[in-house]
Structures are given as C-alpha cells and as structure tokens.
Structure 1
Amino acid sequence: MSDLIVLPVLLPMATAALILLAGEKRRQLNAALALVSTASGLTLAIALLAWVHTQDAPGSFGVYLPGNWPVPFGIVLVVDRLSALMMVLTSACGLAALLFALPRWQRAGVHFHPLFQLQLMGLQGVFLTADLFDLFVFFEVLLAASYGLLLHGGGSQRVRAGLHYIAINLVASMLFLIGVALLYGVTGTLNMADIARKLPLVPPSDRGLLHAGAALLATAFLAKAGQWPLNFWLPQAYGSAGAPVAALFAVLTKVGVYAVLRLWTLCFPASAGDSALFGAEILIWTGMCTLVFGSIGMMATQEPNRLASYSIIVSAGTLMAAIGFDREALSAGALFYLASSTLAGCTLFLMVELLERRRDVEFAPPQSQPQGETLPDFVDAAAAEPANLDDDEQALIGRALPAAVAFLGVGFTLCAMVVAGLPPLSGFVGKVAMLAALLDAARPAAWTLFGLLIFSGLLVATSLLRVGARHFWLPQERPSPRLRIVEGTPVALLLAALVMLAIQGEPVLHYMRLTAQGLHAPDQYIEAVLSARPVSLRGQGGPR
C-alpha cells in the first residue's frame, strides 16, 4: 500500500500531460480524462485515509522514498492522518468544482483542464512532502496553475485581481525561499523531520538566525493563508475568479494553515527548549484579528461572491488562532472545523454562481388582467376581495414552487448554517468542540477567542440571512433560473457530505483527536521518517 503514496501526485501530472497532447479542440475527451482522473484521485485519497486509520493509534504513517535514496538525502513522501485528511478534502472539492465546470466554464478559456490538474498535483504534493525544498516546489506548481485559473474567462476585473494575487504570492515565495535558506544554513538539512531532530542542538549563537528563518517562513505561510494584515488581496481575487476556480481556491488558504500546523507542531513543540512554542502568541492574536476582519467584511458587503471570500478569511483566522494554543483538544475541534469550513466554502462559491445567474435573468412584467373577467374561485363573493394573493395579485394557493428555486433556497440555507456554525450541522459540531476546549484553558486569550467565536457566528449568520432574504424572500419579478443537473449534482453532494459530517460527528471527532495526538507528539513522525530505508535492488542494495 505504501507504493500508492506517490500516485496522488503522479495521476494529475500524467493527466495534464495527456490533455495537452490531445489538444485543446478535443474538449469532450479532455473533460472525460480530467473527470476520470479526479474521481480516481478521490478514491485513492479515501483509500489512503482508511489505510492510515486502520491502526487505532496516533502514530500511523506511510513513508515512500521516490528516488530510493536514504533519509535525509533524498525526496520523502509521508502520509499520516493529517495529510490523508487534506488530500480527501482537496480531491472532493476538486471533483465538485470540475463537475460544475463541465457545462460552461471549461469553454470560457484555453487550457482549463491542464491547469486544473496541475493545481491538484501541487496541492497533493504539498500535503505529502516531508522536506522544505519540495514543499517550495509544490507551492510554486500550484501557484503557477492558480495564476492561469484565476484569469480563466478574461475580463478587466479578473486581470486587476490577478495582478495583485500574483504580486503578493511572488513576494511570499521570495520570503519562503530566504527562510528555507536560513534554516538550511543553521541545521544543514532540508528534511523536516531531520530539522526537528537537530533544532534542540542549535547553539545559542545561531538561535537568532533559526528564529529569523522560521519567522520568514511563517510570514510566507500567513500571507498564503489570508491572515490579517496580509489578506487585502483575497476578497477581490477570490470574488473575481470563476465559480469552479474559486471553489477549488477554498483549499488554497488551508495550504498555509496546513504548513503552519505541520511545521510548528513538528519543530517548535513544548519540548523544544529555548525555541518552545516560538511565535505562539503571534499566531493566536493574528488569527483573532483575522477572524474579526473577516466577520466585519461579511457584514459590510452585500455581494455574494465577496461574502463567500470573507467567509474563507473567517475560517482561516479561526484555525490559526486555535493552532496557537497548542492544546490537543482544541486542535481536534479545529481539525473538524477545518474539514467542515473547507467543504462549506467550496459549496458557497458554487451557490454564489447560481444565485447570481438567477439575479441576472431578464423578466418581462406580467400582463394585467383584462377588465370584465369573472372572479376566480378563491375570491370571497360576499366581500368581493381576494385572499392569499401576492403583490401582483396572483393566487398563492396551489402555486408550485419551482424546483430550481427550492433547491437553491434549501442549499443556501444549509450552507449558511454550516458557515455560521448554527446547530445541528457540522459547523456547529466543530465550534462546540473548540469552545469546550477553550473553557479548560485558563488564559485571557482563550476567553477572548471564546467570545469572538460566538460573536463572529452572530455576524456571519446575520450577513448570510440578509443576502438570503434579498434573493429568496423579497418580492422579485424574475422567473426560475435554468439549473442543469450536472451543476446541481456537485452542490448536492457537498451538502450531503456536510450533513454526514454532523451525523457521523463522534467517529469523525475520534479521527480528529487521534490526528491531534499525533501532531502534538512529533517524535513519532520523526522516528517514522528517519527510520525509512531504501528498498534493496536485486540484492545489490539501494543507491549510495
């Protein structure tokens, strides 16, 4: 089974190459290849998650050496509970976004499918790699693909947002590379497990360089995670992107969160001596500022696409603040919230496209009733006044609600409940788990985050309720929008996944607790990686 670890990276890369060879004119073949590849990737990610979860203990790892070189000199791919979880979320959002793009968005520009597959490749590589240089490489792969996807469909608004997006990510990549160089200069290695093992041995004279390198890395990750004040680019960029692109971008901010969670718990645990919990207070307070910024942003806008963008900021800030407390119970609740908020953000971006399409439908006003027409049956003959009429004096009794409007209304309501953390859906389960853990943390910062989680939930619920009322409750002279089955299917599947997260809340929370235990016991990860050995080739041994 460990040989399958490399497939989540190879599969989308090979698919992108095949699509490029097929040519842009063979759209149906390209769509079929992309769909089969993405669905296979989701199946593979679920299989890897089930494999690492077969051992009911925190230390369950799969290690693969692609070049068959000994650690720490060669490339290492590692799958554990956290990376398997992130791969499943990436594949699920990718499949939903691809299904949604098939009727319309794949034809809005060139090379959509190769760019889409390359972004999936970069995302899966980030979650699997165990060394900093390959982390940088996969970061650049997914960012290069995201540049093209953000501009997919054209338009001046996308170009302006794309320029800001590219500029901030190029600066973040530069900081990333400088931070990696400093850490390599201090520790002499790029393997993350080897760095964690050598950090306590760094002499005091080099401790400043170590912290400077870690701070530069953290700055790059915080910018990519959309943390305040480095998130000014995110609402415009995500709000301008096409619906399937923005839905996949819901995972991009979680890449920065994942990188901070992985490296911070691995290299700066409470047992790291002078570097123990380095930057914890910055993570906590930066996360809370991001949470406030996102909540106010949702209240300040009435555009659904920007509303969805600010919801991504709210979830990223919540996660970053929870990570900084370095508590297993809080991390477990945050991981549950991560899964729920990622799926909800993806769903919300797809819903926004359908809501905006409904708003843009042209409608001809209804013709007035001719004079002298007999009174219908619902009119009280004695009073000669109709009952149960709408604003256009049309009968409400017996009127069927269009299926598309009903689907959009129910879907938006469920999605809003998850994003706001309202019971009984998965967003509520994740928030309750975090609130319960914060009650046990006797710190002013914990009480501050406790209050912000509740207050931000009220602001988010209010903003989503306002948008929902404008689209579904207020009198509107527009017909039911045209909703294709292939567009409604991914939205329905994502909503079903969110409902299942709530129904299976206890088993999922058990998985998250084991994941958090493994993160807060980094010695198991270090041992699993450093103990990996190359495979003997025909009895001659591996590379030397």
Structure 2
Amino acid sequence: MMLATEHLIIAPILIPLIAGALMLLYDDRQRKAKLAISVGAAVALLFVSVELLNRSKGTPLSGGNEISFYLLGNWAVPFGIILVLDRLSALMLVLASLLAIPTLIYAGAAWHRQGQHFQSLFQFLLMGLNGAFLTGDLFNLFVFFEVLLAASYGLLLHGSGQLRVRAGLHYIAVNLAASLFFLVGVSLIYGVTGTLSMAHLSQMVVNIAPSERPLFHAGAAIMGIAFLVKAGLWPMSFWLPTTYMASAAPVAAMFAIMTKVGVYVILRLSMLLFGPDAGASAGFGAQVLIWGGMATMVYGFLGVLAAQGLGRMAAHLVLISSGTILAVTGLALSGGGPAMLSGALYYMISSTIATAALFLLLEPMSREEGGIAALLALTSDAYGLDPEDEEEEEVGLAIPGTMTVLGLSFGACLLVLGGLPPLSGFIGKVAMLSGMFGNGALPPGLAWTFLAVLMLSGFATIIGLVRIGIQTFWASDSSPPKVLAMEFAPVLLLVAMIALLTVRGNDALRYMDATARALHQPLIYSDGVFATRRVTNGEDAQ
C-alpha cells in the first residue's frame, strides 16, 4: 500500500486547485478571507515544494538523481497518466512558490480589488504551472498548459484600461494560435509513434523508421513553435513587451516565470528526445535554439536601450533571460556539456527573481505625478487604478525612507540583471562561460559569438537601468511617493532571496550541476518511468 507521504507529489496540483475552488464560494467583498486562504495555500505549496526538492537530491543508486513517479488512476505506463518528479521539475516548483508568496502579499495592498476572482485565478495559474512541471506525457502537458493560459487571460485583463484590454486581446489571440500549433504537432507525433508518453518517446526515437522520421521531426518542430512563442523566442516575441508592460504589477511579476514554462518544456523535450543518444534525431533543432536564442538576446538588449519606461524595459529583460537559456540549451545539444547548462539554470533562477522584483518596483516608482511618471511613461489608465478609490481603501502603513529602500532594491536588481559582482547574476554568467570554454567541444567561433552577445546584453542592461535610476532617484524634484509596507515587504523578500542565492551559491551550483548531468542521461528518466509499479490489493504489481 502507498504511504500518505508518497502522495505528496500530487499536492502541488491539488493545493491550488482546492484553494481556488474554495474561494469561488466566497463573495468578492470578503477580500481579507480570500487573501488569507490564498497566501496560506502558497505557503503550504512552498513547504511541499521544498520537501519534494529534498527528495529529488538523489541516492547513489540513481546516479545522484532520485526520480519519483506517481501513477494517476493506477494505470501502467505508457497507457496511464504519470507525474514525474526529478531535480528540474522540483526546482521549478520551488521557484513558482517562491514567487507566488511575495506577489500575493503585494496584490493584497490594492491590486486584488481591481476586478473579480483575482485570488482564484492566481491559484489556478499555479495549478497549471505545477502540473506542466510535473506531467510526464504530452497530452496532459497540453491540459495544464491550457489551464495556466486560461487563468493568465483573466489575470492579464484584471482591472481596466484601454491599453490593458488591447494587449490582453492580442495575448489571447497569440496563445490560441500557439495552442493550435501544439495540437497539430502532438497529432503528428502520435501518428508516427502511437504514444504521447515522454519516457516512451525517448525510448522509441532511435528506432523510428527513416521514412517516418521527417514527419516526426515536423511534428516536434510544429509543437515546439507553441512553446517558443511562450518563451519569447525572436521573431515570435513581439507580443511580449506590450503585454507585460500593460499588465498589473503583481501579474507581471508572476508572468516572469510564464516564459520559463516554455523554456522548461523545450529543455525537457530536447534532452529527452534529441540528445546525443537519439540516433538520427540527435541534435535536432539545436541550431534554431542557438541562433534564435542569441537573436532574442540581441532583440532584448536593443529594446532595453530604446525603452523610455521601466515597464517596457523590464519586459525586454525577460526576453534576454529566456534567450540566454534557449541558446545554452541549443549549445548543450551541440556538445556544450552539463557545466554550461548548470550555470544557465542558476542564472535562470536569479534573473527570474530579479525581473519579478523589478516589476513590483515599477508601480511604486511611477506613482507620483511629475518627473517620475513622465519618465516611466505609464498612466493610471494602463493600470486601471482610480487614485481616489485607492486612497480610501489603503491597506497597511506607509514606511519612511521610501526613496532609499526603492533605490537599494532597484540597485540589487540592476546588479543581478546586468551580471555585475558580487550578486548571483555575475556568478551565473561566469559559471556558464567557464563551462563553455572549459568543455572545449564547441567551435571557437560559436563560443566567442555567444560570449560577445552575453556581454553586450549585460552592458546594455546596465546602461538602460542606470539611466532610469539616475533620472528617477537623482534628477527628479518630485516628492517621494507614498508606498505601503505591504508593498515594500514583497520586494525586500525577493531581494533577500537573491542575497541568499548569492551567499549559498556554491550549494546552489552543486544542485544545478547534478540537475544538468541528469538531463544529459535521459535513460534514468525513461527507465524509471517504465519501472514504476502499480498498486494492487495492497501490494505492488507490474
């Protein structure tokens, strides 16, 4: 019989599902109760995610990478639905829960009152994210992908304003088209292989008939478009800056991890299906990821230099982060080795936290009329706020030293995203580059090109953010904005996460290194899935 603790793997899906459904029974005027339920669910989710992360650290029997499996409906693979927990999925679960808590606290100051069912939609978004990270088959990946997209539609349109509605409708249209590509690609893959299990596909890809392999590659490419759109790969990223800039501050902060869903799926499927052991399919799509990722980085840093507002600049910084990870994924498929990939994973965590903090800083820095508001080019219509209503319904106390705290938090984000020492952004970039040049397997021209683009993106980020910082904190004569402690606390919490990631950088990099090495050994994943035993009459059975 399965122990209760063995069911823990499904908790990251059930906790937000139950919390979101429960809050639908509450009237929207019971905001404090809904906020308490939502934050409580996020805290519970964090504890569960940390426990699952500890379980994923592995044993010598599994090569240092313990993978846990959960058969939903108790059907054997490949016919049944399976949840798979490994180092990568556990890492993404922790990241999502770490972002959820400060974002919900920040939203509790005012944003959750700007529309209906904010808390429920937020929980359903978490459910979709966690399900996408845990699922072991493509069909349920599509299901969870649609759940998180449906929730994100409501969150993006949360509030009012012409800019937000226009951006929201554009976002919906783009993602509906991406979902269509997903379905077409999955259908082609199923037509060739007869399965949608990731582990089964990993074992079958070597033996696909030469006559059917082009159709399999076509299905994988078409399906990949859906996730590359979500990841923001150039030229499929033009929707992202306006969408992220127009969304409410806490929504944009949580959307910082939405692009990483696309990155996660591309990384997962690339290493499972197109790794070195994939036969004729080895390395498929690597060049697209390498050059598309670097093109995305170039597009991102050009957007940073051109942006006049912090919102649009932060959105382009998200693209730089995604482009970097996608390029490294392609380099890993081309023989870049685990060391470079481990540095990229570390960089992904730190840059995601930093961009989320930057989105939360955006609205307080643009709150007052005058120089700051003109600089950031954001209007109250874009946020859907009524200043008079906001003044009457303030939650919490304003804090002293507003500009000092804003400036220090902004400076920490600048250091991380610009890749400057001593914070985690610098550590991640150094780890990537040392892994790339230490491996020696990549062509020198390709390696130096990636180095140049990475350095230019960091330099452009520094220029753009310093320009915003100087004009906001030094060149503005307007009075300091009134910011509540409930809005500052989440930003400081995210900055503290960055500091902890820096201080414990050695431990974090060891975990990332083990994660990258496990991704380079897809047989551990596929063999573990097929070795999972059903539970029958109190005993395990095949």
Normalising by structure 2, we get a TM-score of: 0.91
Q: In the alignment, is residue 430 of structure 1 matched against residue 428 of structure 2?
A: yes
Alignment partner of 1:9 out of 10, 13, 18: 13
Distance 1:359 1:521, change over 3 A: farther
Measured in 2, the distance between the counterparts of 1:362 and 1:457 equals: 25
How far is the alpha carbon of 1:402 from its aligned partner?
5.2
Q: Which secondary structure does the structure 1 equivalent of 2:84 belong to?
A: strand
Measured in 2, the distance between the counterparts of 1:181 and 1:415 equals: 43
Which position in structure 1 is the counterpart of 2:25? 21
Which position in structure 1 is the counterpart of 2:340? 330
Which position in structure 1 is the counterpart of 2:391? none
Which position in structure 2 is the counterpart of 1:388? none
Contact 1:52 1:60 in 2 (8 A): yes
Q: How does 1:107-146 map to 2 (within 5 A)?
A: 107-146=113-152
Deviation by residue 1:273-322 (Cα, 9 ceiling, x = unmatched): 11001010110000000000000000001201111100000000011001
Distance 1:195 1:362, change over 3 A: closer
Q: Which secondary structure does the structure 2 equivalent of 1:63 belong to?
A: strand
Contact 2:58 2:65 in 1 (8 A): no
Measured in 2, the distance between the counterparts of 1:58 and 1:143 equals: 34
Distance 1:358 1:418, change over 3 A: farther
**Residue type of the partner of 1:268?**
F
Measured in 2, the distance between the counterparts of 1:517 and 1:359 equals: 52
Q: Which secondary structure does the structure 2 equivalent of 1:204 belong to?
A: coil
Distance 1:256 1:471, change over 3 A: same
Which position in structure 2 is the counterpart of 1:371? none
Distance 1:500 1:359, change over 3 A: farther
Contact 2:409 2:495 in 1 (8 A): yes
How far is the alpha carbon of 1:59 from its aligned partner?
2.5
Which position in structure 2 is the counterpart of 1:348? 358
Which position in structure 2 is the counterpart of 1:250? 256
Contact 2:365 2:372 in 1 (8 A): no
Contact 1:439 1:447 in 2 (8 A): no
Measured in 1, the distance between the counterparts of 2:87 and 2:284 equals: 24
How far is the alpha carbon of 1:25 from its aligned partner?
2.5
Measured in 2, the distance between the counterparts of 1:58 and 1:406 equals: 45
Distance 1:339 1:235, change over 3 A: same
Distance 1:237 1:202, change over 3 A: same
Alignment partner of 1:32 out of 33, 36, 47: 36
Deviation by residue 1:242-261 (Cα, 9 ceiling, x = unmatched): 00000000000000000000
Measured in 1, the distance between the counterparts of 2:447 and 2:514 equals: 23
Which position in structure 2 is the counterpart of 1:463? 464
How far is the alpha carbon of 1:270 from its aligned partner?
0.8
Which position in structure 1 is the counterpart of 2:389? none
Measured in 2, the distance between the counterparts of 1:46 and 1:82 equals: 13
Q: How does 1:281-300 map to 2 (within 5 A)?
A: 281-300=287-306
Q: How does 1:52-67 map to 2 (within 5 A)?
A: 52-53=56-57, 55=59, 57-67=63-73
Measured in 1, the distance between the counterparts of 2:538 and 2:157 equals: 50
Q: How many residues align?
A: 504
Deviation by residue 1:130-170 (Cα, 9 ceiling, x = unmatched): 00000000000000000000000111101110111111111
Distance 1:469 1:184, change over 3 A: same
Q: How does 1:21-100 map to 2 (within 5 A)?
A: 21-53=25-57, 55=59, 57-100=63-106
Which position in structure 2 is the counterpart of 1:523? 523
Which position in structure 1 is the counterpart of 2:497? 497
Contact 1:438 1:447 in 2 (8 A): no
How far is the alpha carbon of 1:477 from its aligned partner?
2.8
**Residue type of the partner of 1:516?**
A
**Residue type of the partner of 1:493?**
L
When structure 1 is superposed on structure 2, of 236-245 and 39-48 the one drifting more is: 39-48
**Residue type of the partner of 1:521?**
Q
**Residue type of the partner of 1:249?**
F
How far is the alpha carbon of 1:537 from its aligned partner?
2.9
Measured in 2, the distance between the counterparts of 1:200 and 1:158 equals: 47
Q: Which secondary structure does the structure 2 equivalent of 1:76 belong to?
A: strand
Please list every run of 5 or more consecutive structure 1 residues that lacks an aligned counterpart in the other structure: 364-400
Contact 1:8 1:44 in 2 (8 A): yes
Contact 1:59 1:525 in 2 (8 A): no
Which position in structure 2 is the counterpart of 1:448? 449
Alignment partner of 2:228 out of 209, 213, 222: 222
Q: Which secondary structure does the structure 1 equivalent of 2:69 belong to?
A: strand
Measured in 2, the distance between the counterparts of 1:59 and 1:411 equals: 36
Identical aligned pairs, as a percentage? 47
Measured in 1, the distance between the counterparts of 2:523 and 2:6 equals: 21
How far is the alpha carbon of 1:538 from its aligned partner?
4.3
Which position in structure 2 is the counterpart of 1:405? 403
Q: How does 1:159-178 map to 2 (within 5 A)?
A: 159-178=165-184
How far is the alpha carbon of 1:534 from its aligned partner?
1.1
Contact 2:58 2:67 in 1 (8 A): no
How far is the alpha carbon of 1:358 from its aligned partner?
4.1
Q: Which secondary structure does the structure 2 equivalent of 1:357 belong to?
A: coil
Normalising by structure 1, we get a TM-score of: 0.90
Contact 2:20 2:124 in 1 (8 A): yes
How far is the alpha carbon of 1:359 from its aligned partner?
5.1
Measured in 1, the distance between the counterparts of 2:452 and 2:88 equals: 28
**Residue type of the partner of 2:363?**
E
Which position in structure 1 is the counterpart of 2:512? 512
Which position in structure 1 is the counterpart of 2:387? none
Measured in 1, the distance between the counterparts of 2:449 and 2:272 equals: 27
Contact 2:76 2:534 in 1 (8 A): yes
Measured in 2, the distance between the counterparts of 1:489 and 1:402 equals: 13
Measured in 1, the distance between the counterparts of 2:535 and 2:354 equals: 42
When structure 1 is superposed on structure 2, of 235-244 and 430-439 the one drifting more is: 430-439
Q: How does 1:200-211 map to 2 (within 5 A)?
A: 200-211=206-217
Distance 1:358 1:53, change over 3 A: farther
**Residue type of the partner of 2:524?**
Q
Contact 1:2 1:63 in 2 (8 A): no
Deviation by residue 1:48-68 (Cα, 9 ceiling, x = unmatched): 101211537442111111211
RMSD: 1.6
Measured in 2, the distance between the counterparts of 1:52 and 1:403 equals: 43
Contact 2:328 2:344 in 1 (8 A): yes
